[in-house]
Amino acid sequence: MSSSVGVKVAVRVRPFNEREKNLNAQCCIEMNGPMTSITDLEDTGAKKDFTFDYSFWSHNGFTMKPDGFLVPDSASSPYADQQLVFQTLGKEVLNNAWEGYHCCLFAYGQTGSGKSYSMVGYGPNKGVVPITCEDVFKRIAANTDSAKKFEVVCGMLEIYNECVQDLLTDPKNRPKGGLDIRESKQLGIYVDGLKKRAVNSYPAIEKVVEEGTSNRTVGATLMNATSSRAHTVLMIEFTQLTEFGGKQGRKLSVINLVDLAGSEKAGQTGATGDRLKEGCNINKSLSALGNVISALADVATGKSKKNMIIPYRDSKLTRLLQNALGGSSKTIMICALSPASSNYEETLSTLRYADRAKKIKNTAVINEDPTEKLIRQLKEENEKLKAMLEGKPIPGGGGGGGGGNLNAEEEERMKKEHENEIKAMEAALAEMQKSWEQKLKEAQEAAADGGGVMNAGGGGGGGGGGGGGGVNLNKTPHLTNLNEDDLLTGKLNYVLKDGETKIGKKMSNNNPDVALSGLSIAANHCVIKNSGGKILLTALDGAAETFHNGVNPKKGEEVELKHGDRLVLGSSYNYVFLVCLPGQNKQELFTMSPHDEVCKEVAAKQGELRQQGMSAEDIKKREDFEKKMKDAEAAKKKAEEEAKRALELKEQEFQKKMKEMEEKMNNEEKRRMQQEFEKQKNEAEAKAKAAMEKLEKEKREMERKERERTAADTELKLLDEKLMHVLPLVKEANMIAKEIGKNHALSTKLAVTITAAKKRKTEVVIPVSLNGNRLYDWDVEKLDNRIYIMRDFYEKWCETEDKASFTIDESEDPWWDPVEGGRMIGKAQLVLEALTMQLENEANVKIISNEGKPCGTLSVGVYPVSKDGGEIADEDLVEEPSQLLGTRMDVLIKVNKASGLPANLANDVTVKYNWYLDDAASATDAKDGASPDFAYQKKVTQDPVTQKFIDYLAKETLVFEVYGVDKSAVAAAGKSGGMFGL
């Protein structure tokens, strides 16, 4: 039985995190039923709408119960808590599993968007995965059919850098290249050699997940890997066995719960346009997943033929998820969204990804077979494979498995494949023929073997010193890890034994107690002594890359470690630890010192940030503003009260006079007196209104200045974050280059850009130089991509015995890019407003570099002309811009000459600009020299003139970009191709 079903898609938006609150972030997401909208609040203000199966609002409208569980704060609150998400998504997964369908639930989104919270959860707020696991056993316990039996088996794996690793295997015992993904008729797509554990209760499956998470942390530490770039899969095989008429029926559902790696940052340039994007295995899997989703969506919507080849084999991730995407599984995708306007591009990218995924169609199949039939089919397929291996005729027909036209190499490859398939088939047969009791016993023994890692928090896997089972960490001084992923924080615990605990890089002649990896980790990095009740740190060869509470201790200097001290090792802040002493509260340290704050502390004290927190001057400015606002509010209130009181007094005085003189005055006199009073009253009101308007204007001006100050402060904080991220990577890249003998050097510079909303924005650029010649500039996204390739490249170099003969092809060199065209010298801007009155504007405008420095002058102009290019006739001139509406306007654009250009870039100089709605840029011919004469002109026409065009002339500037070629850099780049020492 099969049915065509679409991939169901849910999106969920999280609350602001502390960082976003400190940056005064605005929420760019709105939800209304299944509709989700996103608005570009920081630039164009454009709004985009998407519709999904489910839209979960978890941004606000919640309160915390005494047990820590987050729930809606009122009956009308739209807040979606963990239970609602489970009831909507997890329950559907379970219902499908109970019917015998394969199921998949996977979470997608940028790093920090809340994927892990939805999937795993934190503390009492359990996510979909643990609640689903718990519910499986609740349903089994509720079964009253004695003819039905249930078996639950689980495995856990991780895909990092295109390697599949078994998370139930000690990281030190894993095969170097990871596990292989294979496929057979009977077994489908499977991971060869993946360990699976039989579990008979929720605590048992919880223990398996805890062991897998601990091994994941240890593995990340051993590999110096970034956890946010790994995919984690929990596989649950749920089997229902039914006895009927002396025969046993078998219904199998494989539930894949997938926590995808953080989606890479979106950008207009950078990694998204990097020639080596696909060369980086870190990016490969998510990129391949995007390609598969797009291809399946195109097939489902008729854009592509139904028989088109879907690129599942392009990555390990898509191969593993082949059944979930376009296969026989029932699949749900949950996309996690950041609410912050600063993450607009990344969140929009996630929404577009989700929008494509919802178009995919799967053909879900109930997996129901008699057990005997499945065993028979496995045996038959195994016999066929053996026959092919031996070159015998295949049972049931068909030729031999040998030769044909295959060469020796292909024959050997096929032979190896057949051997592997036979092993997998035999293992599957053996597993199926085991009793459930035997499977449980083996699982308990395996869990006991892994218990040392779990009980010690994973320390044992980190290279000794971690403390095995039986160590009471509450009574023992130790280091505990901090990780950017909260789920992996506190999983590694290195016991600080009596005497010395040596920390460093494991080598053939060096075996430290705590073994770490990475270029900036020295063999004898540092040592921690536990003696006489004191814990003392001594920095050794790694002193330059050892940071205690953000400060570098001098080599050989002893520093006493206190409870809660922060210890960071490595140039890229690779290893972050907290010092935990006996009898102290360890859990509160994780709240007081989160990973990003500890890294920020190091960056600030090492002078790598422009600012750290609010300076005394900033605090005083803030206090002054708040005082002025209070004073302004008080003055406004006082003025209102005084005006009201004065009017009341006038009224009372008038009434009193009227009463006194009523009998003496005739009607004419009363009328005159009434008019006089009205006049005085109006004057008093006008005076009070003017005073209040003045106060209101002053208040608005103060608010405007404060908004500008806050925006500038926020930009600085964002800049600090980028610098904190970029500087260690630049340092690491330069260390790798120096180690392997490449003369490339990376540095950092700040570039000023103007957004579409005319806001000034400062970005970090990374100039790449070779022997002092600046070749090209990278953006942060490209650096993020290249550093992973550099690390892989460095590992290969380290493994090569003959270093002198080691070369790399230019096309794969992570330092090399073609020097294409010119490098931007700077921009010059010309105001267009004069054209609204048919006046020319000719000027010598300054050329400003991306770093905000003047770097020459450009002589340009815009001139209104007639249709044939001459002067406009007097009768066609207008007195108001509105008179231009509906007419034709011709404008002559001139680029006359430049002067004072930088000498190193004064080659092949060109000037480019985009007029009004032009997609393609117009450009001058290339000229040489520091003062080139372009003598360029071009006529452009707007017919008819619209209000939008008039607004463009009135408010915009024409931006001229000046480019030049650094010939010495081009020559240097041409010599560098893949070689060392150049």
Do 360 and 374 lie in one domain? The reply is no
**Eight-class DSSP state of 539:** E
Given a cut of 70, is residue 406 above it in pLDDT?
A: no
Given a cut of 80, is residue 211 above it in pLDDT?
A: yes
Q: How many helices (H) and strands (E) does the chain have?
A: 20, 43
Given a cut of 50, is residue 398 above it in pLDDT?
A: no
| pLDDT given at position 927 | 95
Token pair for 716: 């600085």
Determine if residue 435 is labeled as part of a ligand binding site.
no
* Model confidence pLDDT, tens digit, residues 846-881: 999 988 889 999 999 999 999 888 888 888 888 899
* Model confidence pLDDT, tens digit, residues 251-273: 889 999 998 888 755 443 334 55
| pLDDT given at position 757 | 53
Q: CA 380 to CA 398: how far, in whole Å? A: 14
Whether omega before 582 lies within 30 degrees of 0, making that bond cis, reads no
> At a CB cut-off of 8 Å and minimum separation 6, what does 857 contact?
828, 844, 845, 846, 847, 898, 899, 900
Beta-strand pair 329-337/102-108: parallel
- DSSP codes joined into one string, 184-253: ETTTEEEETT---EEE-SHHHHHHHHHHHHHHHHHHHHHHT--GGG-EEEEEEEEEEEEEETTEEEEEEE
pLDDT over 70 percentage in the chain: 81
* Model confidence pLDDT, tens digit, residues 531-544: 988 999 999 999 99
Torsion of CA 517, 521, 527, 530, to 10 degrees: -50
Do 129 and 213 lie in one domain? The reply is yes
| pLDDT bucket at 464, cuts 50 / 70 / 90 | very low
* Model confidence pLDDT, tens digit, residues 414-427: 767 766 766 766 66
**Eight-class DSSP state of 783:** H
| pLDDT bucket at 887, cuts 50 / 70 / 90 | very high
- DSSP codes joined into one string, 66-90: TTS-EEESSTT--B--HHHHIIIII
Determine if residue 178 is labeled as part of a ligand binding site.
no
Determine if residue 112 is labeled as part of a ligand binding site.
yes
Q: Is residue 493 part of a domain?
A: yes
The domain spanning residue 17 has which CATH number?
3.40.850.10
Do 22 and 41 lie in one domain? The reply is yes
> At a CB cut-off of 8 Å and minimum separation 6, what does 451 contact?
469
Given a cut of 60, is residue 395 above it in pLDDT?
A: no
Q: Are 936 and 960 in contact (CB under 8 A)?
A: no
Do 841 and 938 lie in one domain? The reply is yes
Place of tokens 């003017």: 690
Beta-bridge partners for 393: 400
Given a cut of 60, is residue 618 above it in pLDDT?
A: no
Q: Are 146 and 130 in contact (CB under 8 A)?
A: no
Given a cut of 80, is residue 151 above it in pLDDT?
A: yes
Do 361 and 374 lie in one domain? The reply is no
The domain spanning residue 459 has which CATH number?
2.60.200.20
Determine if residue 110 is labeled as part of a ligand binding site.
yes
Q: Which helix (H) or strand (E) holds 358?
A: none
Q: Is residue 833 part of a domain?
A: yes
Ranges of H-type helices in 932-966: 947-955
Do 311 and 421 lie in one domain? The reply is no
| pLDDT given at position 1 | 54
* Model confidence pLDDT, tens digit, residues 308-358: 888 998 889 999 888 888 888 889 999 999 999 988 989 999 999 899 888
Do 48 and 172 lie in one domain? The reply is yes
Do 212 and 291 lie in one domain? The reply is yes
Q: Which helix (H) or strand (E) holds 350?
A: helix 344-357
Beta-bridge partners for 79: 57
Q: Is residue 162 part of a domain?
A: yes
Token pair for 347: 């969140």
Beta-bridge partners for 535: 530
Determine if residue 322 is labeled as part of a ligand binding site.
no
Q: CA 724 to CA 707: how far, in whole Å? A: 25
| pLDDT bucket at 723, cuts 50 / 70 / 90 | confident
Do 113 and 244 lie in one domain? The reply is yes
Pick the closest to residue 150 from 193, 100, 104 (CA basis). 100
Q: Is residue 503 part of a domain?
A: yes
Sign of CA dihedral 682, 687, 690, 696: negative
Q: Is residue 256 part of a domain?
A: yes
Q: Angle between the 667-740 and 595-605 helix axes, to the nearest 10 degrees?
A: 80
* Radius of gyration of the CA atoms of the chain, in A: 35
Q: Is residue 306 part of a domain?
A: yes
Domain end among 605, 640, 659: 605
Determine if residue 68 is labeled as part of a ligand binding site.
no
Determine if residue 270 is labeled as part of a ligand binding site.
no
pLDDT over 90 percentage in the chain: 38
| pLDDT bucket at 944, cuts 50 / 70 / 90 | very high
Query: Where does 376-498 show beta strands of DSSP type E?
Result: 478-482, 493-495
Give the domain extent around 870.
823-970
Token pair for 935: 């003598």
Output the CA–CA distances (angstroms, integers) from residue 231 to 95, 260, 263, 646, in the order listed: 25, 4, 11, 73
Number of independent structural domains in the chain: 4
| pLDDT bucket at 666, cuts 50 / 70 / 90 | low
Q: Is residue 381 part of a domain?
A: yes
Q: What mean pLDDT value characterizes the chain?
A: 82
| pLDDT given at position 975 | 62
Long-range CB contact pairs, 968-971, < 8 A, 24+: 968/773, 968/904, 969/770, 969/773, 969/774, 969/775, 969/819, 969/823, 970/819
Q: Is residue 622 part of a domain?
A: no
- DSSP codes joined into one string, 582-647: TTS-SHHHHHHS-HHHHHHHHHHHTT-SS--S--HHHHHHHHHHHHHHHHHHHHHHHHHHHHHHHH
Token pair for 495: 């016991």
Burial letters 58-89, b for 16+ CB under 10 A, else e: bbeebeeeeeebbebeeeeebbbbbeebbebb
Q: CA 914 to CA 644: how far, in whole Å? A: 58
Do 107 and 213 lie in one domain? The reply is yes
The domain spanning residue 922 has which CATH number?
2.60.40
* Model confidence pLDDT, tens digit, residues 727-778: 889 999 999 999 888 889 999 998 877 655 556 778 899 999 988 888 889 9
Is 705 strand, coil or helix? helix
Mean pLDDT is lowest, of 294-303, 547-556, 707-716, for 707-716
150 burial type by CB count under 10 A (0-12 exposed, 13-18 middle, 19+ buried): middle
Burial letters 671-695, b for 16+ CB under 10 A, else e: eeeeeebeeeeeeeeeebeebbeeb
* Model confidence pLDDT, tens digit, residues 118-150: 999 988 999 999 999 999 999 999 998 888 899
Q: What's the number of CA atoms in the CB half-sphere (13 Å) around residue 227? A: 25
Output the CA–CA distances (angstroms, integers) from residue 503 to 388, 464, 496, 553, 667, in the order listed: 53, 10, 11, 15, 105
Determine if residue 115 is labeled as part of a ligand binding site.
yes
> At a CB cut-off of 8 Å and minimum separation 6, what does 202 contact?
133, 134, 136, 137
| pLDDT given at position 467 | 42
Do 285 and 418 lie in one domain? The reply is no
Q: What's the number of CA atoms in the CB half-sphere (13 Å) around residue 786? A: 28
Angle at 104 between CA 101 and CA 105, to 5 degrees: 135
Domain end among 589, 605, 621: 605
Q: CA 858 to CA 962: how far, in whole Å? A: 9
Do 418 and 469 lie in one domain? The reply is no
| pLDDT given at position 462 | 38
Domain end among 318, 349, 366: 366
Average pLDDT on 623-641 reads 66
